[in-house]
């Protein structure tokens, strides 16, 4: 099987490449923009058959220059939710994806692509239906616009098209994301450097640290993508989260206790972590007011309805595995 992974040196893309290798697929064409050179580290030890810069790949693929490609796992995008340049966002996340979709359909190539839970924005219901799609920023809108194109063409699709609305993904190989890296990543480094982690105080009717998100471990994201790769008859738009909302306090507790365990120290409950200054609350930033999702939780009904019964890790187990990985990969 020949598979293309766009955004291959990024967080989810690189983990997908490693996941493909783990099931015996090494004819992988990696596509990315390595202007940020250190991202290459995410592909160390991965088996790929070729690499192309994104500036040349899409046009060449549309011309059919790569021969038979079984599937494209399209992760390439601008995922910075604080990017306000709508022209850039739509060109990168919508137009590029639309052209790729057209090329895949003309060549009979399956397309599995990254959407986002940002499509729901200010909604309180997270089900794959237009009534609940209320993006709060142009990033969410760019993802929703492409999802809607997919919806329109699915009845006449000639090959599989599956979009995944990623919720709050965390795990190995996200270090290059900077401020957009997961809470668990930032908590680990805060604790290592300052001996404490910081959380937002009360906001939106939620007590300090109790704003809740659907945190999903990267290994689970890879597993679901590979399930669809192995089930080419399943198409649609699917939530990809754990289906379980947990407060940021849970992430802080899991991170700090996992880090303490590495030093042989016992786990402590939240109250003691706060009392000892290991967890600290800071005022909610004005810049995020009105633009912040205080609660997300994936409705997995559509995913389960097509037969994907993958069991997702909770925050405690996923973060513990991630902290152990971070501790052994200090320069990655």
Q: Which residues are catalytic?
A: 139, 177
203 by DSSP, 3-state: which? strand
CA distances from 97 to 90, 93, 265 (A): 10, 6, 48
Distance of CA 152 to the CA centre of its chain: 24
CB 152: neighbour CB atoms within 10 A?
Answer: 9
**Order of strands, sheet of 245-247, starting from the edge strand that comes earlier in the sequence:** 168-170, 212-217, 245-247
- C-beta of residue 9 within 8 angstroms of C-beta of residue 29: no
Structure-token pair, residue 169: 């993904």
Bridge-based pairing state of the strands 71-74 and 2-6: parallel
Q: Which of 210, 188, 189 is nearest to 199 (CA)?
A: 210
Pairwise CA distance, residues 123 & 131, whole Å: 9
Structure-token pair, residue 59: 């046009």
Structure-token pair, residue 256: 């700090």
Sequence-separated (6 or more) residues with CB below 8 Å from residue 70: 1, 2, 3, 109, 110
Beta-bridged to residue 121, according to DSSP, are 134
- The residue count for the chain: 332
Pairwise CA distance, residues 290 & 298, whole Å: 21
């Amino acid at each position: 099987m020949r598979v293309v992974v766009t955004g291959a040196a990024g967080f989810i893309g690189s983990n997908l490449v490693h996941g493909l290798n783990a099931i015996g697929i090494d004819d992988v064409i990696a596509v990315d923009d390595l202007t940020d050179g250190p991202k290459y580290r995410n592909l160390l030890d991965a088996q790929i058959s070729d690499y192309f810069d994104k500036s040349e790949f899409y046009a060449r693929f549309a011309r059919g220059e790569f021969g038979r490609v079984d599937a494209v796992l399209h992760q390439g995008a601008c995922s910075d939710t604080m990017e306000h340049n709508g022209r850039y966002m739509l060109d990168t996340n919508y137009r590029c994806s639309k052209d790729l979709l057209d090329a895949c359909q003309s060549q009979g190539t399956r397309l599995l692509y990254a959407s986002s839970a940002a499509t729901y924005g200010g909604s309180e219901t997270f089900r794959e239906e237009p009534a609940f799609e209320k993006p709060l920023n142009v990033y969410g809108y760019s993802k929703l616009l492409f999802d809607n194109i997919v919806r329109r063409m699915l009845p006449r699709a000639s090959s599989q098209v599956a979009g995944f609305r990623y919720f709050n993904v965390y795990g190995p190989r996200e270090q290059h994301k900077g401020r957009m890296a997961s809470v668990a990543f930032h908590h680990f480094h805060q604790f290592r450097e300052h001996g404490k982690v910081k959380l937002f105080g009360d906001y939106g009717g939620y007590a300090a640290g109790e704003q809740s998100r659907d945190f999903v471990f990267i290994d689970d994201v890879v597993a679901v993508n590979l399930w669809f790769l192995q089930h080419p008859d399943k198409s649609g738009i699917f939530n990809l989260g754990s289906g379980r909302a947990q407060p940021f306090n849970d992430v802080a507790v899991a991170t700090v206790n996992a880090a303490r365990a590495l030093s042989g120290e016992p786990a402590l409950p939240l109250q003691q972590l706060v009392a000892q200054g290991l967890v600290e609350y800071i005022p909610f930033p004005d810049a995020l007011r009105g633009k912040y999702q205080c609660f997300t939780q994936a409705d997995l009904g559509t995913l389960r309805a097509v037969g994907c019964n993958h069991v997702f890790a909770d925050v405690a187990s996923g973060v513990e595995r991630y902290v152990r990985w971070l501790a052994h990969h200090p320069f990655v």
